[in-house]
Amino acid sequence: MHNKTLAEIIAGLNSGAFSSVEITGHLLNRIRQLDPQYNSFITVTAEAALASAEAADRQRASGNAPLFCGVPIAHKDIFCTNGVRTSCGSKMLDNFVPPYDATVVENFAQAGAVILGKTNMDEFAMGSSNETSYYGPVKNPWDVNCVPGGSSGGSAAALAARLTPGATATDTGGSIRQPAALCGVTGLKPTYGRVSRWGMVAFASSLDQAGPMARSAEDCALMLNAMASFDPRDSTSIDREVPDYTANLNQPLSSLKIGIPKEYFGEGLNPGTEQAVREALTEYEKQGATLVDISLPHSHLAVPAYYVIAPAEASANLSRFDGVRYGYRCEDPKDLRDLYMRTRGEGFGDEVKRRILVGAYCLSAGYYDAYYRKAQQVRHLIKQDFVDAFATVDVIMGPTSPSPAFAFGAKGDDPVAMYLEDVFTIATNLAGLPGMSLPCGFVDNRPVGLQIIGNYFDEGLMLNAAHQFQRATDWHQRAPEGLE
Amino acid sequence: MQWETVIGLEVHVQLATQSKIFSGASTAFGAEPNTQACAIDLAMPGTLPVPNEQAFRDAIMFGLAIDADIARTSMFERKNYFYPDLPKAYQTTQLEKPIVGRGHVDIELADGSKKSIRIHHAHLEEDAGKSLHEGSFEIHGHGMTGIDLNRAGTPLIEIVSEPDMRNAEEAVAFARKLHSIVTSLGICDGNMSQGSMRFDVNISVRPKGSDTFGTRTETKNLNSFKFMEDAIALEVERQIDLIEDGGKVIQETRLYNGDTKQARAMRSKEEANDYRYFPCPDLLPIVFEDDYIEQIRQSLPELPDARRDRFIEQYGLSRYDANSLSGDAAVAQFFQTAAAGSDAKLAANWIMGELSARLNAEDRVIQDSPVSADQLAGMIARLKDGTISSKMAKQVFDAMWNGEGDADGIIEARGLKQVSDSGAIEALVDDVIANSPQQVDNYRNADDAKRPKMLGYFVGQIMKASKGQANPQQVNDVLLEKLNALL
């Protein structure tokens, strides 16, 4: 039952093959039994989940069931949930219970979904290995000695371990796609503005975007149908009709032009990863698509630009955690300065502090032009690379991350090596473009992700391309041994 | 040495919007602490700002009123600093692309001279909350600081002038003119005691004739014209004394206390924050179409200068009176209502005289006047038609002030009608003349030049006999006629 996709669960609930209480109960049991090994959940809301499953079953019996009625999913612990602790993976918010729902949470509630709990993540979404979580690292279900990727590592691992059939996630520089790749699941970061950021704890506001994670492209399409909306509470939300993302999944790919950026196949790419990606591209050719060699000449500037812009925005976004109104407050502050220094010193982990310091430095008088302004100029060039590329191709494909999952601690002492994990994903965030990752093979029993980058609002086309690949292959159906 | 003062102002004007600049919480003044602060104002995680369109309209109205350039694209920046009443630890404000560009405000001084004060720019921003410090707030007997976030997120425009003012009179005239403009536009309630307008005054001195500026200080948060005048005088004197004693002015922020009439340094430039401004990524640049601005221009209400000119033209007021009555939008409205139902010049005199004195004495604004414009008009109508004398009018005014109702009712109830019946007045005059043979003789024998002074006695007697109700003008006329007939 836990192997079922969202589409299969919806069909099963519709046909009466099983009830929401049954599948919800089954997954909650599984989480109770297995998650101690993976640590993919920070909070499991078992009681509330069963109560809403019961309510969903009644609603379904009354003949008025919305799409996700009774379908269990999990939310990344970055989305505010009314009455349920929202920690963002940080000691700073360990005691924080929001009095409001994120729009994404609201949208799923309206669609009838049952929430199993809140998934683990890198602290404030800062990390590519889930090692920065205050609640301890998430283990990769394919190899518990390896990281699941980050920052949405909890969502990805929970999917791989068959603890949930769908999970929300967020992506600021690759935080949906890289863990999806490392855990062998499918994840989509939509166009910036497609999904509301209201109620999503901010990391870097101009880059943050929420998206679905599931075990198939079809499931991602179903989830995106529920998630995406224009939200007047988010000034960067885009007022544009939400299409039915499942509508075009079965279009043939015979006229599809796929851009292959030479910069994504250079030095630093694991040979096994490259081989898996090349074989996936061959499958696309087999389906009639055309591969076109392209160049994204400013690709090498994406990581440095990102590590100026994202920390700069984060340094301001995280200033509100000051111990005055909510969240962690140090014991017995002796004065205001002490309150600030110790609250923030004790409440934040090292990686968060590192980024706040980097960000504050880049914005400081005398450095702003050299760092922040320059990075914004680079951002513009990177966006232009994509605009030029999409003049000739429909989608761009390449590896999601340079190598498969690595061992815990392998990059712990070297932030730059960790930052290079996102070398292929960051540019799309800087450009605001949609990107997705889907399983396309293995290296030493560790999954490899194929990345698809689309033009603005081309999520439908990307999902179509991914779905057609998944119809012809079974990489996405593979489960870690013992978790089938 | 002769010194010249150089003054520039930064003025914070609270916009009279219903809700805050980036949230839907109410901006009403005086509510219980923290009852008008929503999740956005509290900077709860995941909350986002949504701009209030009315704040843009208000700022554009101001820009048009001072003949300024309106930015076609405007954007917000974050100004980062930690303070407990600043929930996000940054203020959302404007730096690189303020909504209102260069403009000017024209002032008129007491001697009738005019001056144009250049505006460097005006930008939109959010207000912070308030810290209630030790003494005003206690928990368990310990001095604590309380935070009230009701004001957090209230929309402000900050108006920055060029250093064009040369003395306190000019600065106060400029401040008053701004007050007049924003209240006339209806974009600010103008209530200074509630902090609706707050003035930061940059002051420096230099030897007269010098064309470089001296080091300036900034005296912050003055919220009355009187405090501003006093604070400028104090700071100018301090700077001149300092320099003449061989010292140097250091760039610093100062606080003036209106109660003790003293100022102290708050922080020097060296201690100033690096605010690390950068564009707010939660708010996209705002583009204003020409049509949008044009439509606001068309809907601009009458501005103070135009109103003054109209008062001179329409009501025949002197320039001085017209200036006094047109500056404050509420006063102007009061005057127009009162004048419409009575007599413009009398209405002007009563508003600038009795009413204004009574309001000042009780520290009230005209909106809170116990005597309404209609009531004043009613009283003036009776004064003008001779029903009551000026002296009676003062009694009627007092009664209206005390809430006794309209003039007609008071006149009736108190029997205040003056006698204008010529027969009755002639009888009174005849009686007094008959009863004052000695005074009549004196009058008859006096020089022409002395006679007018001798009328007082007769008038006094007649008014006394009439219990003060005889129409004094009529009494004068009849008396003169009858006395002269005896010559």
Peptide bond into A151 cis (omega under 30): yes
Distance from CA of A205 to the nearest CA of B (A): 6
**A28: closest CA of chain B, how far (Å):** 28
* In contact, B253 and B224? CB cutoff 8 Å: no
Contact A463, A455 (CB under 8 A): no
Q: Are strands A446-454 and B3-14 parallel, antiparallel or unpaired?
A: unpaired
Q: Per this entry, what is the length of chain B? A: 487
Neighbours of A86 (CB within 10 A): 29
Shared domain check, B33 and B98: yes
User: Can A19 be counted among the known catalytic residues?
Assistant: no
Which residues 6+ apart lie within 8 Å of A378 measured at CB?
A298, A301, A304, A305
Q: Are residues B31 and B131 in the same domain?
A: yes
Partner residue facing B44 (CB), from A79, A200, A326: A326
At residue B141, does pLDDT exceed 70? no
- In angstroms, the CA A10 to CA B478 distance is 106
Q: Quote the percentage of chain B above a pLDDT of 70.
A: 97
Which chain A residues touch B42 with a CB distance below 8 Å? 325-326
Closest CA to B83 of B127, B34, B128, B47: B128
User: What whole-number distance in Å separates Cα of residue A24 and Cα of residue A41?
Assistant: 15
Beta-sheet strands, E only, within B210-271: 217-222, 252-257, 262-268
Is residue B281 within 8 A of residue A205, CB to CB? The reply is yes
Q: How far apart are CA B189 and CA B183, in angstroms?
A: 6
The token duo for A280 is: 């996936």
Rounded to a whole number of angstroms, the CA Rg of chain B reads 30
Angle at A415 between CA A414 and CA A418, to 5 degrees: 95
Of A313, A319, A363, the CB nearest to B88: A319
**What is the structure's pLDDT at B476?**
84
Fill in the amino acid letter for A321: F
Instruction: Answer left, alpha or beta for residue B363, where phi above 0 means left and psi between -120 and 50 means alpha.
Output: left
As a dihedral over the C-alpha atoms of residue B388, residue B392, residue B396, residue B399, rounded to 10 degrees, the angle is -150
Together in a domain, B352 and B276: no
Count Cβ atoms within 10 A of the Cβ of residue A79 and give its class: 0-12 exposed, 13-18 middle, 19 or more buried.
buried
Q: Predicted confidence band at B452 (pLDDT cuts at 50, 70, 90)? A: confident
C-beta separation of A186 from A211 below 8 A: no
Asked whether the predicted pLDDT for residue B253 surpasses 60, the reply is yes
What is the structure's pLDDT at B33?
92
Residue pLDDT, tens place only, A336-347: 999 999 999 999
Q: Which two tokens stand for residue A273?
A: 């990863």
Mean pLDDT confidence for A263-281: 95
Q: Helices B304-315 and B168-185 sit at what angle, rounded to 10 degrees? A: 80
The per-residue pLDDT for B168 is: 96
* Residue of A204, A236, A325 with shortest CB distance to B42: A325
Residue contact A320–B281, C-beta within 8 A: no
Of A128, A175, A216, A437, the active-site residue reads: A175
* Consecutive H or E run containing B356: helix B356-361
* Contact (CB, 8 A) for A156 and A177: no
Q: DSSP H helical segments within A233-366, as ranges?
A: 271-286, 302-317, 336-347, 350-363
Nearest CA in chain A to B149: A325
Distance (Å) from the C-alpha of residue A280 to the closest C-alpha of chain B?
37
Give the closest of B46, B88, B281 to A199, CB-based: B46
Q: What is the pLDDT of residues A396-451, one digit of tens each?
A: 999 999 999 999 999 877 888 888 889 999 999 999 999 999 999 999 999 999 99
Q: Work out the minimum CA distance from B223 to partner chain A, whole angstroms.
A: 28
Amino acid at A446: R
Q: How far apart are CA A222 and CA A71, in angstroms?
A: 12
pLDDT of residue B429: 86
How many angstroms separate the CA atoms of B165 and A276, rounded?
74
Tally of domains in chain B: 3
Q: How far apart are CA B392 and CA B376, in angstroms?
A: 14
Q: What does the CA dihedral A179, A482, A146, A346 come to, rounded to 10 degrees?
A: 80
User: Do the Cβ atoms of B46 and A315 come within 8 Å?
Assistant: no
Q: What are A74's two structure tokens?
A: 């999990």
Shared domain for B221 and B191, answered yes or no, is yes
Q: CA torsion, points B476, B481, B483, B486, in degrees to nearest 10? A: 180
The fold for domain A1-484 equals: Amidase signature (AS) enzymes (3.90.1300)
For residue A460, the 8-state DSSP code is H
Q: Which of A183, A187, A238, A256 is nearest to A216 (CA)?
A: A187
The encoded tokens of residue B162 equal: 């060029």
Best-predicted range by mean pLDDT (A427-431, B137-141, B450-454): A427-431
Strand pairing partners for B159? B11, B122
For residue A151, indicate whether it is catalytic: yes
Q: How many Cβ atoms are within 10 Å of B80's Cβ, its own excluded?
A: 21
How far is it, in rounded angstroms, from Cα A437 to Cα A174? 10
Interchain contact, B88 vs A235, CB within 8 Å: no
For residues A288 and A260, is the Cβ–Cβ distance under 8 A?
no
Task: Please write the tens of the pLDDT for every residue from A234-249.
Answer: 999 999 999 999 999 9
Q: Tell me how crowded residue B272 is: count the other CB atoms within 10 A of its CB.
A: 11
pLDDT tens per residue across span A132-180: 999 999 999 999 999 999 999 999 999 999 999 999 999 999 999 999 9
B111 lies in which domain range?
Answer: 3-294
Q: Note the pLDDT of residue B428.
A: 84
Give the pLDDT confidence of B334-365 residue by residue, as tens digits: 999 999 878 899 999 999 999 999 999 998 88
CA separation for the pair B306, B479 (Å, rounded): 47
Whether B70 and B114 map to the same domain: the answer is yes
**Phi and psi for B89 in degrees, rounded to 5?**
65, 15
Asked if B83 and B227 sit in the same domain, the reply is yes
Does residue B270 surpass a pLDDT of 70? no
Region A350-376 average pLDDT: 96
Nearest-Cα distance to chain A for B80, in Å, is 7
Phi, psi of B147 (to 5 degrees): -115, 125
- Whether residue B140 has pLDDT greater than 70: no
Q: Which residues pair with A441 in a beta bridge?
A: A448
Asked whether A467 and A244 are in contact (CB, 8 A), the reply is no
Specify whether the CB–CB gap between A236 and B82 falls below 8 A.
no
Q: Which tokens in the block code for residue A124?
A: 């404030």
CA distances from B259 to A51, B131, B136, B169, B256 (A): 63, 20, 17, 21, 9
Q: What is the pLDDT of residue A425?
A: 97
Sheet of B197-207: strands edge to edge? Answer: B103-108, B114-126, B155-161, B3-14, B197-207, B217-222, B252-257, B262-268
Asked if B25 and A300 count as a contact pair (C-beta separation under 8 A), the reply is: no
Interface contacts A/B by beta carbons within 8 Å:
102
Bridge partners (DSSP) listed for residue B14: B156
CB-CB under 8 Å, B78 with A320: no
Share of chain B above pLDDT 90, in %: 69
CB proximity A324 to B under 8 Å: yes
Q: Among B8, B49, B46, B6, which residue's Cα sits nearest to residue B25?
A: B49
pLDDT, one tens digit per residue, over B188-225 is: 999 888 899 999 999 999 999 999 999 999 999 999 99
Residues B95 and B179 in one domain: yes
* Contact between residue B47 and residue B150 where contact means Cβ atoms under 8 Å apart: no
**DSSP string across A165-210:** SEEEEEESSSTTHHHHHHHT-EEEE--TTSS--TTBPPSSTTT-EE
Cα–Cα distance measured from residue A186 to residue A6, given in angstroms and rounded to the nearest whole number:
12
Q: What are the domain boundaries of chain A?
A: 1-484
Domain stops at, among B414, B435, B466? B414
Q: Specify the CATH number for the domain of residue B471.
A: 1.10.10.410
- Which H or E run includes A129? none
| Interchain contact A346–B (C-beta under 8 A) | no
pLDDT band at B317 (very low <50, low <70, confident <90, very high): very high
Are B49 and A235 a contacting pair at CB < 8 A?
yes
* Average pLDDT of span B400-429: 84
Q: How confident is the model at residue B134 (pLDDT cuts 50, 70, 90)?
A: low
Report the C-alpha gap between A138 and A161 in whole angstroms.
12
B278 and B136 in one domain?
yes
Q: Please check the confidence at residue B143 and state whether its pLDDT lies above 80.
A: no
A364 is catalytic: no
Task: Calculate helix-pair angle for B329-340, B373-384, nearest 10 degrees.
Answer: 40
Contact B13, B196 (CB under 8 A): yes
Contact A198 B46 (CB under 8 A): yes
- Per residue in A58-80, pLDDT (tens digit) is 999 998 899 999 999 999 999 99
Contact A405, A146 (CB under 8 A): yes
Q: How many CB atoms lie within 10 A of CB B368?
A: 10
Q: Is A205 in contact with B282 (Cβ distance < 8 A)?
A: yes
